[in-house]
Amino acid sequence: MKTPAVALAAVLILAGLGQSTDSRAQDGVFADDRVVPGDALAMKSSFAPVVRTAAPAVVNVSARGVQQVQDPFWSMFGQGPRAQQVGSVGSGVIVRADGVVVTNYHVINGMQQIRVVLNDRREFDARIILADERSDLAVLQLEGVNERLPTLNIDDREEQQVGDLVLAIGNPFGVGQTVTNGIISALNRTETGISDSGSFIQTDAAINPGNSGGALVDMDGDLIGINTAIFSRSGSSSGVGFAVPAAAVRRVVDSAVGGATAVIRPWLGVKGETVSADVARSLGLDRPQGLVVTEVWPDGPGDRADLRMGDIITAIDGAEVNSQGGLNFRVGTREPNETVRVSVLRDGRPLIVDARVQRLPGNADVQGALVIQSGGLTGAQVLALNPALADSLGGDPFATGVVVGRVASNSYARRGVGLQTGDVIMAVNDRAVTSPQQLANLPRGSQLLVERRGQRGVLVVR
């Protein structure tokens, strides 16, 4: 268990409450003899021991690539997109001595050349061995490593508490390695808009552009999260930063070093809604807690474990769950076929259900999509949804309908109907759509119920 802090070292030092430099020198006590703060008196010391342990494993990541950008000036003359050099600067953490580095997906996304600079100014080229957009994590392998590099231990025991002291180490604004300190402001943040399967550590340690991919460390000098995002109106730190927890980092790193090209996330096969205050009152609960189950996938892990609609899931393996995102995160950090303990309230009675989580059913491969050759949707590539496909597209695994793949730019489906890649066609003329064949030869006037980025609307074949 980490020792909770009661004051900030910087405040005490700036106030002149510690020993003077002269008296410390006379007593033979130098910087290397300082210890990690453990109580109010020890807070007069320094975070330097933690930084000395952690900083050598935190690196600068710079990446360059070429993207196609449409310039409004040249488009007036009928010219298409032009190739343009783009760059990205962020941070990373060495997690294996042979040069395995974890950073944020958004730091390296779309980049072809990646350069990593160590704390001691050594430089290495790097290649991507796994990039996982869902968690916003990527794993790199440094090239030409001939010695053991400094590493940070991934602490995924989840013993952190709100109020614990943490350090954020990274390369903000590209100025060079910087350390900031603060506390854990909240745990298990899910309603952030960052990810539908993320559960983040919130901290008030200053995190700014360039800190992405850097380390959030505890007072043992262990990696407890990868700094990922901030809430800010100015673009700079306002004391609300988010880090991907170490449990998710471990899952992605283990997948990468195990040779996987993608992270396989199992599921429980249940869908639910957060228990609001009104729902809690209607159910006679002391307080709003948990996720009330609204759907159970037939013969899925939850169904086989006898989870039922109306059950309230309150925890997975003892970790509190209050949203679908929190449930997705907890289950997603497990391996397929692992058993999780699900804490449930059923008719007001608590019980424990053991469920073996599984891969999502179906096929995420889009190669078998049907290209419609005639009718109102000519030129659209469509594929029936299944849980694995829907999840790979970042959608709801319980969703039904037909998903739109590529749409030819000069096709009638694009120009006449307005279909876009990623649209889900749920119904035609109020009849549910479950097969791509139902969309062939659609006549003019047909009305399509379409879901696009979470919003539903009607498109008409004209």
The one catalytic residue in 212, 255, 323, 446 is 212
Tell me the backbone φ, ψ of residue 282, rounded to 5 degrees.
-65, -25
Q: Is 155 a catalytic residue?
A: no
The one catalytic residue in 98, 106, 220, 232 is 106
The one catalytic residue in 136, 164, 311, 423 is 136
Q: Is 106 a catalytic residue?
A: yes
Query: Given its phi and psi angles, is residue 197 left (phi above 0), alpha (psi -120 to 50 degrees) or beta?
Result: alpha
Q: Is 276 a catalytic residue?
A: no
* Token couple for 129: 């061995």
Alpha-carbon distance 123 to 297, whole Å?
A: 50
Alpha-carbon distance 399 to 432, whole Å?
A: 12
* Token couple for 357: 């989580």
Please compute, for residue 340, the number of CA atoms within 13 A of its CA located in the half-sphere on the CB side: 29
Are 166 and 218 a contacting pair, CB within 8 Å?
Answer: yes
| Residue whose C-alpha is closest to residue 290's, from 215, 368, 344 | 344
Query: Given its phi and psi angles, is residue 173 left (phi above 0), alpha (psi -120 to 50 degrees) or beta?
Result: left
What is the distance, to the nearest Å, from the Cα of residue 186 to the centroid of all Cα atoms in its chain?
16
Alpha-carbon distance 381 to 392, whole Å?
A: 17
Active site residues: 106, 136, 212
